[in-house]
Amino acid sequence: MKALVALILLVQLPIHKAVPAAPTAPLGCDDPEAEAAAEVAVSYINSHSHHGYKFALNRIDNIRVLPQGLNNDIMFLELDLLETTCHILSPTPLANCTVRSFTQHAVEGDCDVKLQKLDGKLSVLASKCHSDADSSEDVLQLCPGCPLLASLNNTEVLTTVTAALNYHNSKTADAYLRLLEIGRAQIQAHPVHIVSVEFAVAATNCSAEEAKDNVEACQLLPDDQSNFGFCTATMVMSPSKDLKVDCQLYGHQTQTVFLFQPGVTYSQPGQDTSAGLLPSVVQGFTNHNLRLSHNSPAASESSSSEFPTSMLSAKSVAKRAVAEVAQHDKVPHPVGFVPPPPPCPGKIRHFKI
Ligand SMILES: *[C@@H]1O[C@H](CO)[C@@H](O)[C@H](O)[C@H]1NC(C)=O
Ligand SMILES: *[C@@H]1O[C@H](CO)[C@@H](O)[C@H](O)[C@H]1NC(C)=O
Ligand SMILES: *[C@@H]1O[C@H](CO)[C@@H](O)[C@H](O)[C@H]1NC(C)=O
């Protein structure tokens, strides 16, 4: 009998060894630990994005934790983000950036992020994002007649940007500005034909007056003096032409060490903002894609194999959890019982898209 017990123990021993440490309770998408990881992830995504706008967290879709050892976890996050009104070059901290409303034709970002949590310290190992504008049908359903996003290379958009920048440069006593990129554009057809544009600019080493003599000699300021800015403009096309322009320079930012690297030089024949830079990637698109906005392939464009397919099955786990909660609900509960929320996806911070 003793021998049998010993044998059983012996047989079981290697099995016990193979079993990993007891799994901790799964992390919910709205747990503070998940939110802390998402904050680090969003900050990483914005700091590695070189085009378009900063994105803010809308919802944590899913989280998966793979324990690696003592105080060492790998975390996989699926995040839904929304475009804010802050250009990526803006020094405004994300917390102060306004998320664009649904009626402004929202742009949503989807990101998979892999983080490591080592001794309580979070760092991003990889991220993979893409972004899409909401469908025009969705916008029009809720807001008939709302202006929709237009292609960034739309002729009316380019005309408005050029006119706006020329107008600003003709009025200012300060530095002559050059176009860096068009951020977004919306066109309203009725009742008035209006083109609204937003674009990033940079100061050159010329005053607007000096630029009149020889615009070709006006260069963007070197990195250590760079001064970026942002313009909004609306042009009423008909019944009568009317242009409104507002440009603000951010002032030199010491932390803007990364350099805005345009894809190609964009030029519009016969216009004197011709040295404006427009990344080729936006041709034919209404928004800068977060995927293409990440300029550091090694750090942020890891292959999808980095993200386990089991993340997908984690979704069904979440669904099962919901189902279980629903099951529990059939059982009568004492008054005041609040069923626990499903662990994932988490709460929506702004609006559903
Ligand atoms: C951001 O918002 C906080 C709180 O409203 C405010 O105190 C701070 O000055 C703002 N910062 C910027 C750069 O706007
Ligand atoms: C701007 O910089 C360019 C290149 O360094 C130089 O040729 C030009 O004279 C400068 N313009 C002014 C107004 O300083
Ligand atoms: C915008 O770019 C797309 C893709 O390159 C092209 O097919 C389209 O003709 C362009 N539109 C304009 C107005 O240049």
pLDDT tens, 294-316? 544 444 344 445 565 444 444 44
Domains of the chain by start residue, with CATH: 32-138+295-330 (3.10.450.10), 151-285 (3.10.450.10)
**The predicted structure's pLDDT at residue 307:** 60
Ligand 3 atom nearest residue 155's Cα = 13
283 Cβ inside 6 Å of ligand 3: yes
User: For residue 214, how many C-alpha atoms fall within 13 Å in the half-sphere facing its CB?
Assistant: 4
206 Cβ inside 6 Å of ligand 2: yes
Q: What is the pTM of this model?
A: 0.79
Ligand 1 atom nearest residue 96's Cα = 1
Using alpha carbons, select from 36, 56, 31, 61 the residue that is nearest to residue 45.
56
Distance in Å, CA 153 to ligand 3 centroid:
6
Tens-place pLDDT, residues 99-153: 999 999 999 999 999 999 999 999 999 999 999 999 999 999 998 888 999 999 9
Give CA separation, 267 vs 118, 181, 270, 333, in Å. 48, 12, 9, 69
Ligand 2 atom nearest residue 204's Cα = 1
pLDDT tens track, the chain, 353 positions: 455 444 444 445 444 444 455 555 689 999 999 999 999 999 999 999 989 999 999 999 999 999 999 999 999 999 999 999 999 999 999 999 999 999 999 999 999 999 999 999 999 999 999 999 999 999 999 988 889 999 999 999 999 999 999 999 999 999 999 999 999 999 998 889 999 999 999 999 999 889 988 888 999 998 888 899 999 999 998 878 899 999 999 988 765 444 454 433 333 333 333 334 444 445 678 888 887 555 444 443 444 455 654 444 444 444 444 444 444 445 555 667 777 767 999 999 999 98
Ligand 1 pocket residues where CB is under 6 Å: 92-93, 96
